[in-house]
Chain A
């Protein structure tokens, strides 16, 4: 029975348009079954993924089984979790015992992991329905999904543009209504940047707040799993499901999960001190991005926030430090792909040595960007260069953390544009690594310092009518603040506009969309 307050009074007739919170409430109330929700999303994937290419693997049978288990539990009167029965798109970097895990790489094509990641396990335990595994830049290295060995995903706002990356498949799936929830990983911006360019909400929790166990490692001191969704409340619900101490991850924080759901419902910034980071705007940022960003700052002021400008003098060195630290960790982590225990093996003709087989396999199995970063990291860590590169980058990391600490003495949160530009055309930056790296200019500082950050849509850039993201940054373990500010911005902008921003996305062809059930 629809009741005021849970949103059921004005839910659209198409189930895939609902928010995750609405879906969970409807399942709990018995208005809709988890099986119906799953079926609606599987059909949506079948109709639209030819265009979007968000998924590498759709797990029809296990999704249907997971949904049916939720419906059975409900029928038996058992208590359901806050997201039980809600479908989710999982980045293909998390191990799944019943689905392949490829990390977008040929070297792991067809690999079936022997165990579930902690994130996967917690999603299943919560009754979240995993629809399948989503496309990504190979081993999470990239900002466009163009580094996937299995071809790029497409931005639902404009299919000729990138959905961002590396969690671009999850972002594209959520923006195309193939799933209300997505999980990504953020090492240098890989959740926030795709969220920004697809008009979504994306959160990088505090480092150590979400477990890395079973997440195929890229840069272990930076990798952070987190949610991608269409509203600010939905990632908060997901955040609470996946977070909390994990004894299997030695860097998992043994601390209470910040009260993010309460903060997302609170949505009040009156009296909150907001700092605009001087170093994260101006040169290199598109004019339409800056315009929407400045309007968002004015909006926060009109909602009662106290806005000041704050200088973080070393943020200009974050990108160079990141492109030493991340490749160094990557060169070490990816040494495990040695063609001996799992994955691809090439050139084992009975005469070649293990070392030759290893070198041939890695040359054949890794793509251009992964090879580039492995060699860059090997260079930065090699004797004679270690002090000048890796060592210096680690010192810069200290300076960046110091900038954050000083800033958070003056303000409660920091804000900036999430990305310097809107979604760029497919192919535009593939041959220019430095241009691709710039996409993470504003997101990297939080990875180096480990603090929480969220990207929330703040309008369309006037020049290309593509979404712009506002980045909100908070201190370590103060994740609830980014939700509070994000929710306030979302509420005010949705009220002004009369509808959620994503409603204006029309890149996915509706005619084709209606054309049939085939293809699954």
Chain B
């Protein structure tokens, strides 16, 4: 199988990466090589083998339900690209119309 420029453009959109035409071409050929190399996992991963999601198995981890100190709003906002009235200020999130 091979990855086309259009598929890379779709991946870039999903990944929220505004890539240039040059980058789309370059990534198409590089991802193609990488994906055919990693597809080798399909040779040995037969049905019935359970997946491992984590190196060391854990069950749910709980802590006591007690109040602890957390970051103040001023600290959290101190590094924001833009802030106003104790909130993060973001570009518009709704369409023009």
B67 interface residue per 8 A CB criterion: no
Q: Does A519 contact B (CB under 8 A)?
A: no
User: How far apart sit A451 and B19, CA to CA, in the bound complex (Å)?
Assistant: 38
Q: How far is the CA of A53 from the CA of B77 in the complex (A)?
A: 33
Contact residues in B for A398 (Cβ distance below 8 Å):
49-52
From residue 2 to 53 of chain B, which have CB atoms closer than 8 A to chain A? 3, 8, 11-20, 23, 27, 30-31, 33-35, 37-46, 49-53
Q: Which residue of A lies closest to B13 (CB)?
A: A359
Judge whether B15 and A341 touch: CB under 8 Å: no
With A320-B41, A398-B51 already in contact, the answer to whether A345 and B82 are too (CB < 8 A) is: yes
Interface of B is mostly: loop
Cβ of A354 and Cβ of B91 under 8 Å apart?
Answer: yes
Given that A348-B91, A372-B27, A396-B44 are contacting pairs, would A324 and B15 also be in contact in the complex, using a CB cutoff of 8 Å? Answer: no
Q: Which of B38, B45, B55 contacts A447 (CB 8 A)?
A: B55
Collect the chain A residues with CB atoms within 8 Å of residue B75's CB.
Answer: 114
Shortest CB distance B14–A (Å): 5
Q: When A208-B55, A372-B31 are in contact, do A396 and B41 touch as well, CB less than 8 Å?
A: yes
Distance of A374 Cα from B92 Cα, bound (Å): 25
Closest-CB distance, A355 to chain B (whole angstroms): 7
Complex CA gap A434/B40 in Å reads: 14
Task: Choose among A222, A250, A354, A392 the residue that contacts B42 (Cβ–Cβ < 8 A).
Answer: A392
Task: Tell me whether B52 and A434 are in contact (CB under 8 A).
Answer: no
Q: Residues of B contacting A372 with CB < 8 Å?
A: 27, 30-31, 34
Task: Tell whether, in the assembled complex, residue A375 and residue B12 are in contact, meaning their CB atoms are under 8 Å apart.
Answer: yes
> Smallest distance from the beta carbon of B93 to chain A beta carbons, Å?
5
A contact patch SS = helix
Q: Is the CB of A343 within 8 A of B81?
A: yes
Query: Cβ of A371 and Cβ of B44 under 8 Å apart?
Result: no
Interface residues on B, range: 35 or more
From B15, B20, B27, B52, contact of A394 by CB (8 A): B52
How close is B77's CB to chain A, nearest CB, in angstroms? Answer: 9
Assign chain A's interface to a size class: 35 or more
Contact in complex: B91, A221 (CB < 8 Å): no
Q: Which residue of A lies closest to B50 (CB)?
A: A398
Q: Does A401 lie within 8 Å of B40, measured CB to CB? A: no
Q: Report yes or no: B91 in contact with A353, Cβ–Cβ below 8 A.
A: yes
Contacts of A371 in B (CB 8 A): 15, 17, 19, 23, 27
Q: B91, A352: Cβ atoms under 8 Å?
A: yes
Q: A221-B54, A320-B39, A450-B55 are in contact. Are A375 and B17 (CB under 8 A)?
A: yes
A374 to B41, Cβ gap below 8 A? no
B51 and A397 within 8 A (CB): yes
Q: Check A354–B81 contact: CB distance below 8 A.
A: no
Taking CB atoms, residues of chain A closer than 8 Å to B35 are 376, 379, 389
Which of A247, A374, A375 has its CB near the most chain B CB atoms (within 10 A)? A375
**Are A323's CB and B37's CB within 8 A?**
yes
The closest CB in chain B to the CB of A359 belongs to: B18
Inter-chain CA distance A338–B80, complex, in Å, is: 11
- A355 with B16: CB separation less than 8 A: yes
**Are A340 and B88 in contact, with the CB atoms below 8 A?**
yes
Is A423 on the interface with B (CB-CB < 8 A)? no
Residue A358, interface by CB 8 Å: yes
Q: Given B15, B23, B27, B44, which contacts A314 in the complex, CB threshold below 8 Å?
A: B44
Q: How far is the CA of A72 from the CA of B61 in the complex (A)?
A: 40
Is A323 a contact partner of B34 (Cβ separation < 8 A)? yes
Given contacts A222-B55, A391-B51, contact A348 B42 (CB under 8 A): no
Which residue of chain A has the shortest Cβ distance to B76 in the bound complex?
Answer: A114
Q: Given A251-B54, A371-B17, are A324 and B44 also a contact pair (CB < 8 Å)?
A: no
Please give the distance in Å from A369's CB to the nearest CB on chain B.
Answer: 10
Q: State in angstroms the CA–CA spacing of A247 and B61 once bound together.
A: 9
18 A-B pairs in the complex with CB atoms less than 8 angstroms apart: A208-B55, A320-B40, A341-B79, A352-B91, A362-B17, A362-B18, A375-B12, A375-B17, A380-B38, A389-B38, A389-B41, A392-B42, A395-B50, A396-B41, A397-B52, A434-B34, A476-B55, A476-B56
Interface residues of B, Cβ cutoff 8 Å to A = 3, 8, 11-20, 23, 27, 30-31, 33-35, 37-46, 49-56, 58, 61, 63, 71, 75-76, 78-82, 88, 90-93, 95
- 4 tightest CB-CB pairs across the interface, nearest first? A450-B55, A394-B51, A345-B81, A395-B45
